[in-house]
Chains A and B, each alone.
Chain A
Amino acid sequence: MEPEPVQLARSTPVRRIAGGLVAATLLGIAGNAHAGKDLDAVKARGQVVCGVTTGGISGFMSVDSQGKWVGLDVDICRAVSAAIFGDSEKVKFVPVTAIQRFTALQSGEVDMLSNNTTWTLQRDTALGFDFTGVTYYDGQGFMVSKKLGVKSAKELNGATVCVAPGSTTELNLADYFRANKMSFKPVVIEKVDEIRAAFFSGRCDVYTTDRSGLYATRVANAPNPDDYVILPEIISKEPLGPVVRHGDNQFGDIVRWTQYAMIEAEEYGITSKNVDDMLKSENPTIKRILGVTPGMGKALGVDEKWVYNIVKQVGNYGETFERNVGSGSPLKIERGLNKLWTQGGLQYAPPIR
């Protein structure tokens, strides 16, 4: 979900006013950025304000039939709320478009973004943000009809490939085939719905875009989702993660270690179902993670039961992945790169100690 490079914002009148304040505020704190200022505001307000994507992205953030925001990205905000307030419901979700999102964060309209934003150099530096971690390693992949009998992208020599024009997607595609000494015939189509129609009608053997998009298209647009497979190869880097603005390292740390806590909980087998039993564990690492041995909460500036509250109310990383985008969801995304490091994936939390 990466339509927008860094650019000057287009803005609503409301946001224009906010934009004026932003600059003044940021320049004002130039000399002495101190920890805790954003956290203090969150606490005084009694809510974390979480920027999500307007219109939603199924599995990552969307409004369910009861009007409740659900999804992998949404769960990060809920977990941060559980760490700070002991209650994962103290979140206000504010939908922002791809164009608005960075201004909304800079202006303080939202405390954090958790909306499938790719971590890049420009956003991490010139925009004055910090990415706290990677919630989902996304990247470009390939979808094919099962009938082709193909198990790997390396078997796609000579294939006809549907792709959007003028994008990094098109360049990555050409690079990948060249590197693997294979040829392909591009079918370049501008509009997303027309690409999908061309692929599902059989005009192309292959459809390529970011894998999360392939999974979403398969469930929402395929005449029969089971007839299509997403191949295992990932040929580009789209690391998606939450974002906070510079100026409050303590709040940044809470978001960062909340993510790590969800990963660490999975690694140590702590789930929403067994977390009460785990309070009785003799394992010193588990005792420290769950606050039975105190210290971690104090260091972070939250309650010692912060991880207990996160896991009890939201779940560990694996639980939220499977529920929202994995095997327990319509998307059925494989863990792949998002497996724990102990299982062959990239998800690795530095130790909670």
Chain B
Amino acid sequence: MYKYSLAAAAGVAAILASGSAMAGKDLDAIKARGSLICGVGTGTAGFMLADSQGKWVGLDVDVCRAVAAAIFGDAEKVKYTPLTAQQRFTALQSGEVDILSNNTTATLTRDTALGLDFTAITYYDGQGFMVNKKLGVKSAKELNGATVCVAPGTTTELNLADYFRAQKMSFKPVVIEKVEEIRAAFFSGRCDVYTTDASGLYSTRAANVPPPAKPEDFIILPEIISKEPLAPAVRHGDQQFADIVRWTQYAMLEAEEYGISSKTVDDMLKSDNPTIKRILGVTPGMGKALGVDEKWVYNIVKQVGNYGESFERNVGMGSPLKIERGLNKLWTQGGLQYAEPIR
């Protein structure tokens, strides 16, 4: 038998209040400053790059803009700090930036000993294969006996050997140190296959195909043979801020799943669907739990778009990269992108 206990109710209420009070130190600093400081890379087309107007654009940039939309109702309240791969973790640990959103792979060491939290995966990357269309190959499983261009001494080389061994196929490695020389060797036809992370293959295809050859002459095969889950990172110590980043990402995914886009979001405010009403704050509660405005998802989607819109615009079919959704499709479409429910 359970008897309703006022004492316990008061205790839980206090916890609920402290849930936002105990964290919040980084969030308070962001609010006082009036902008989010987002650590980006020094430039990767499609993911984070300053455009001709000096404005940062890309899939990773959109995550920071969406967090600003959730906190301030304004996706423009972001300052970008370009960081090298060596600088990035120190910059986050020292408080120079609030968040890293720069194609960092979530790994055990970074998640633990460095004192960071990865919030959710923005892009499932991994090693893939590019071939010339003339080969007529549709799958990596048809590459038996192929000549493969690869960088030496890397996990890339090991994964390549493992994959071919597992498929009972042979290959001839062409091992070249410098990236430009690997590309030249591949595009000159010295290798049948070029292997590195799939996002790198798409970038190379968009940026480095020497004329008269065209990007369309090359295809990236569907197989992904390693795990490079790319995710934003925050430092330990302010779980409320981490929650805002995590649920901002989930909100973009959830919006896509429920058909809420930057174009339909105003009409969606009139939806009778209780899930959509809750997501968009028409039924309040979610914003309060997270410690932001009830219109946080509306602001994210209106100003930045849902995950699918951001993906297609920055790295997908609306971009020079033309990356297939692949593993980054929604779970309902056969991909891995799955948002925990907003309720």
Contact = CB atoms under 8 A, between A and B. Distances in A.
Given A8-B9, A171-B274, A299-B113, A239 B340 contact: yes
A19 B343 contact: no
Size range of the chain A interface in the assembly: 35 or more
Contacts of B285: 122
Contacts of A337: 331
B233 to A, nearest CB: 12
A270 to B, nearest CB: 15
A125 B7 contact: no
Contacts of A125: 19, 240, 243, 247, 289-291
Interface in A201-253: 237-239, 246-247, 249-250, 253
Interface string B1-27: 011110111111111101111110000
A10 B331 contact: no
A346 B327 CA distance: 10
A16 to B, nearest CB: 5
Contacts of A283: 162
Interface in B315-340: 327, 331, 334, 336, 338-340
A256 B273 CA distance: 34
Contacts of A131: 340
Given A125-B243, A246-B239, 15 more contacts: A8-B12, A9-B8, A15-B8, A20-B7, A27-B18, A121-B247, A127-B19, A246-B23, A257-B111, A296-B108, A299-B109, A346-B331, A346-B338, A348-B227, A350-B121
13 contacts: A10-B4, A19-B5, A26-B18, A125-B289, A125-B290, A175-B273, A237-B338, A295-B109, A299-B108, A299-B112, A299-B113, A350-B105, A351-B229
Interface of A: 5, 8-13, 15-16, 19-20, 22-23, 26-27, 29-30, 33, 35, 99, 103, 106, 118-122, 124-128, 130-131, 137, 168, 171, 175, 237-239, 246-247, 249-250, 253, 256-257, 260, 283-284, 295-296, 298-301, 337, 341, 344, 346, 348-353
Interface of B: 2-5, 7-16, 18-23, 105-109, 111-113, 115, 117-118, 121, 124, 155, 158, 162, 227-229, 236-237, 239-240, 243, 246-247, 250, 273-274, 285-286, 288-291, 327, 331, 334, 336, 338-343
